[in-house]
């Protein structure tokens, strides 16, 4: 499984990589939506873990830009939102915007792995 984790906080990217240690997943990281767009243009990811609140381009805008990226290799990737914003209203928003799932931070390893397995 090829995974892209997108988060503007370096520590969060390190945590995701550590949580997925021991799996056979190949994990790339991007520290912004703009970086993610460059990476998804050239690489097909099975799953993209996307932070919601990032400066300049939030996770929802980035999701839409990846889905509509002309020539992009990850237009059909499964996307999971990672967020501190939880609750039924937020779950509905993420679903309506096109995410395949969402996880609240801090993320637990077993829940992260199960969620990835459920979307692929």
Burial of 41 (0-12, 13-18, 19+ CB in 10 A): middle
The confidence score (pLDDT) of residue 85 equals: 81
Phi-psi category of residue 71: left, alpha or beta, with phi > 0 → left and psi -120 to 50 → alpha: left
Which of the four pLDDT bands, split at 50, 70 and 90, describes residue 44? very high
pLDDT in tens, 47-105: 999 999 999 999 999 999 999 999 999 999 999 999 988 778 988 999 999 999 999 98
The whole-number average pLDDT for the span 9-15 is 95
Q: What global pTM score does this model have?
A: 0.95
């Amino acid at each position: 499984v090829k995974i892209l984790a997108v988060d503007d906080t370096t520590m969060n990217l390190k945590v995701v990589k550590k949580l997925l240690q021991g799996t056979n997943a190949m994990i790339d990281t991007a520290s912004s939506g703009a970086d993610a767009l460059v990476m998804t243009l050239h690489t097909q990811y099975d799953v993209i873990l996307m932070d919601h609140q990032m400066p300049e381009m939030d996770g929802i805008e980035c999701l839409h830009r990846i889905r509509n990226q002309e020539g992009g290799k990850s237009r059909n990737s499964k996307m999971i939102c990672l967020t501190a914003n939880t609750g039924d209203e937020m779950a509905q928003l993420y679903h309506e915007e096109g995410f395949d799932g969402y996880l609240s931070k801090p993320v637990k390893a077993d829940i992260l792995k199960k969620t990835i397995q459920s979307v692929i």
